[in-house]
Amino acid sequence: MPKQSLRQQVLARRGALSHEEWHESSLMAQEHLLSLEEFSKADCVALYAPTRNETDTSALRDASLATGKRVLYPAVTGDRMVFRQIEGSSCLSEGCFGIPEPRPTGNDHLADKPDLIVVPGVVFDCAGHRIGYGRGFYDRFLQHPHRKAHLIGLCHDFQLIEGAIPVERHDIRMEILVTDRRIIHCGSNRCHYEGPDSHRGGY
């Protein structure tokens, strides 16, 4: 199925979630992510502020701050995305596209800073490929040549499809997928510099 059709289909289903369904799914998915060794070992974690019924990240934020991790959130400046550190939920205010983001502090970070990046998406496949909203902010941001972070795609389980998402050369694979029902380890999270990797095994 073409990317745009997949995107529209899954966005419609996600938009139809009740608050109770969204809340329960988000809690389960966050509990799964909190159980990961990659999370417990990370000193600096990058999260996202959910929009349009995306899986919540507030439990991840609170657990990170409580254990002394540095917590970063994305902010859009012009046509690029950066990360900024926050000390609590009050540090976020409405930003680009109406999504909460940290206010400017003078310290913008690129993708080489965090140890773990929790990446939102509209659709994922079991190999770790992702379809976003089509603006390309994360795709461009994650191209940083010195990125060392584990990439974790977080979503509701129905956003994870069994078939393959169409892959392009610039696409970057998630290393781990976490939903309210399962954790999938997908392997490589490097960019497809020479074209899409044919591997579609466990991530």
Question: Mind listing the pLDDT tens digit for each residue in 130-175?
Answer: 999 888 899 889 988 889 999 999 999 999 999 889 877 777 899 9
In a domain, 198, yes or no: no
Q: Running DSSP on this structure, what letter comes out for residue 191?
A: B
In a domain, 190, yes or no: no
In a domain, 22, yes or no: yes
CA 108 to chain centre: 19
The pLDDT > 70 percentage for the chain reads 91
Question: Mind listing the pLDDT tens digit for each residue in 60-105?
Answer: 999 999 999 999 999 998 888 999 999 876 678 887 788 889 988 7
CATH code of the domain in which 177 resides: 3.40.50.10420
Question: Mind listing the pLDDT tens digit for each residue in 10-28?
Answer: 999 999 999 999 999 999 9
At residue 113, the pLDDT reads 94
CA distances from 192 to 96, 97, 139, 170, 197 (A): 29, 29, 12, 6, 6
In a domain, 137, yes or no: yes
E-assigned strands of the chain?
44-46, 70-77, 80-86, 92-94, 100-102, 116-119, 123-125, 130-131, 150-154, 160-161, 176-178, 183-185
Containing structural domain, residue 83 = 3-185
Question: Mind listing the pLDDT tens digit for each residue in 29-44?
Answer: 999 999 999 999 999 9
Q: How many domains does the chain have?
A: 1
pTM metric for this prediction? 0.89
In a domain, 72, yes or no: yes
In a domain, 101, yes or no: yes
In a domain, 124, yes or no: yes
